[in-house]
């Protein structure tokens, strides 16, 4: 699986700590200082803020 590009919307699944179910979140990956790409979003069921790691930034 290749890492998504920054700026392209992706859908990722992550566990919601409120619902205790796996929920899909959609958003654009944002790179942290370490080069890790994260997607942030809200749980569709309870609106809890969620985030998940979707890859690592590749050298440009």
Q: Does 3 reside within a domain?
A: no
Q: Does 1 reside within a domain?
A: no
Q: Does 46 reside within a domain?
A: yes
**In this predicted structure, what is the pLDDT of residue 1?**
46
Q: Does 4 reside within a domain?
A: no
Query: Contacts from 25-32 at CB under 8 Å and sequence distance 24+?
Result: 25/50, 25/51, 25/52, 29/4, 29/5, 29/54, 29/55, 30/6, 31/6, 31/57
Q: pLDDT for 3-46, tens place per residue?
A: 566 668 899 999 999 999 999 999 999 998 888 999 999 999 99
Q: Does 22 reside within a domain?
A: yes
Average pLDDT score, the chain:
87
Instruction: Please enumerate in sequence order all residues whose Cβ is within 8 A of that of 17, keeping only pairs 6 or more positions apart, or say none.
Output: 48
> Which tokens hold the place of 33?
């200082």
Full domain range(s) for residue 42 = 10-56
pTM, two decimals, is 0.72
Count structural domains, the chain.
1
**In this predicted structure, what is the pLDDT of residue 57?**
80
Q: Does 24 reside within a domain?
A: yes
């Amino acid at each position: 699986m290749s890492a998504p590009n920054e700026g392209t919307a992706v859908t990722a699944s992550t566990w919601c700590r409120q619902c205790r179910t796996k929920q899909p979140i959609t958003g654009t990956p944002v790179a942290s200082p370490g080069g890790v790409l994260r997607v942030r979003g809200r749980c569709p069921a309870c609106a809890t803020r969620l985030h998940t790691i979707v890859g690592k930034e590749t050298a440009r």
